[in-house]
Amino acid sequence: MTEHTTVVVIGAGVAGLTLGNLLLRSGIGCVVLEKHSREYVERRQRAGTIDSRGVRMFREWGLEEVFANDALPDVEAGFFLDGEELSIDFAGDDESVFCPQQVLVRNLTDVFLRAGGDLRFEADDITLDLERPAVRYADVVLPCDHIAGCDGDRGISRTAFPDGVLTRYSREYGYAWLSVLAEVAAAPSGMAIHARGLAGMIPRGAHASRVYLQCPPGDELAHWPDERVWSELSARFGRPVTPGRIAEKRLVPLRNVVHSPMHHGPLYLLGDAAHIVPPMSAKGIHLALFDAEVFANAVVRRAKEDDPSLLDGYSETCLRHVWNYQAFAAWITDVMHDAGDPSYAGEFRQRTARAELERQFTSPAAGRLFAEFLAGVS
């Protein structure tokens, strides 16, 4: 079976579904392909905050319903240093909202399908043809004008780039995170810096939380029985933490990654397929939404005005923004970890990192930036 559409979107995550909705609202034909089932996609637990720019973007496109019913804008996150809770002024124009990623994906899916969008789950064995632009899966061939690779860091889109075209820039950190999904309210909620290492406890709903504990990069899950998770979390926050059932544990290496260029022929990379930021920065969703809007506007310009200039400049436009946020991600990751355990970067760096943090609390301008980060931490 052969069908033609303007854009084939690979991946039904935040980037792919946002792009699909923007194209649909602009009258641009598109098909979204996802290799997993809908149930699987809507249960993935990841980042949980839409920052100010993302909130404004959805509102401008008339899509505020994707977070309006499920967002929790009044979630408060504390900041703890050696067990002492510090205060920070959240005043300003921050409009970020807490919305668990699985909720955002579910809502984007509902809106897309309700508007007549073409979303195909369990699309196995996807292959890309960049010479005569088309996407194939099963017995279906989808000739198209553009392919949007929104299938994450381990997807197939990036592998379709010819050898020698892509350059991978990366940085690996000297530590990892134990990431735990727990069926218990986040109390305390926020981030804790301690000589034992960084810790976090972030809401993922009224009765669920995501717990983070800094650990060595070569650590093993066997070293982290449930009892140790809760005792270590209490020690780093400096106060008792009520334990709950742990539903998931995984080790997360911290890294910055950028693939350049983000465009080759008819194929464009969006979101995690093109770049990764450490979860410490809470900017993964931000970058995915930025890419989706830039690409959607470029396709609309090409289709309606026969002007390819925005498509031609897609990679340059996005990468300029990506590198700016990579700089922020690297900075906040270094500062938050270096200020705690001195065994990684030494006691001199620990003291300079703490001085940097103190400046965030005493400088109004720096404090606003840090407050937005803290409100949006994933």
The Cα-based distances of 115 to 58, 110, 112, 134 in angstroms read 16, 9, 5, 25
Q: Which residues of 112-133 are buried (b: 16+ CB within 10 A; e: fewer)?
A: beeeebbbebebeebebbeeeb
Structure tokens given for 363 = 């400088």
- The partner residues of 58 in beta bridges, in order of sequence, read none
CA 353 to chain centre: 25
pLDDT at 67: 85
What sign does the dihedral 76-81-86-89 (CA atoms) show?
A: negative
pLDDT(109) > 60: yes
pLDDT(374) > 60: no
Average pLDDT over residues 194-201: 95
Architecture of the CATH domain 173-253+342-376: 2-Layer Sandwich (3.30)
pLDDT at 133: 96
d(CA 287, CA 282): 10
State what percent of residues in the chain have pLDDT above 70.
90
Average pLDDT over residues 343-366: 85
d(CA 369, CA 35): 38
CA 170 to chain centre: 17
d(CA 23, CA 29): 7
Inter-residue contact 319 to 301 (CB < 8 Å): no
Structure tokens given for 344 = 């990684």
9-53 tens-digit pLDDT = 999 999 999 999 999 999 999 999 999 999 998 877 666 678 889
Question: CB count, 10 Å around CB of 345?
Answer: 16
Mean pLDDT of the residues in the chain: 90
pLDDT(371) > 90: no
What sign does the dihedral 322-102-7-301 (CA atoms) show?
A: negative
Q: Read off the pTM.
A: 0.91
How does DSSP assign 127-175, residue by residue?
EEETTTTEEEETTEEEEEEEEEE-S-TTSSTGGGSPTTT-EEEEEEEEE
3-state secondary structure of 48: coil
3-state secondary structure of 269: strand
Q: Which of 27-31, 91-95, 211-215 has the lowest mean pLDDT?
A: 91-95
pLDDT at 47: 63
d(CA 220, CA 194): 21
Structure tokens given for 227 = 């009892």
What superfamily would CATH give domain 5-75+98-169+256-330? FAD/NAD(P)-binding domain (3.50.50.60)
Domain ranges of the chain: 5-75+98-169+256-330, 173-253+342-376
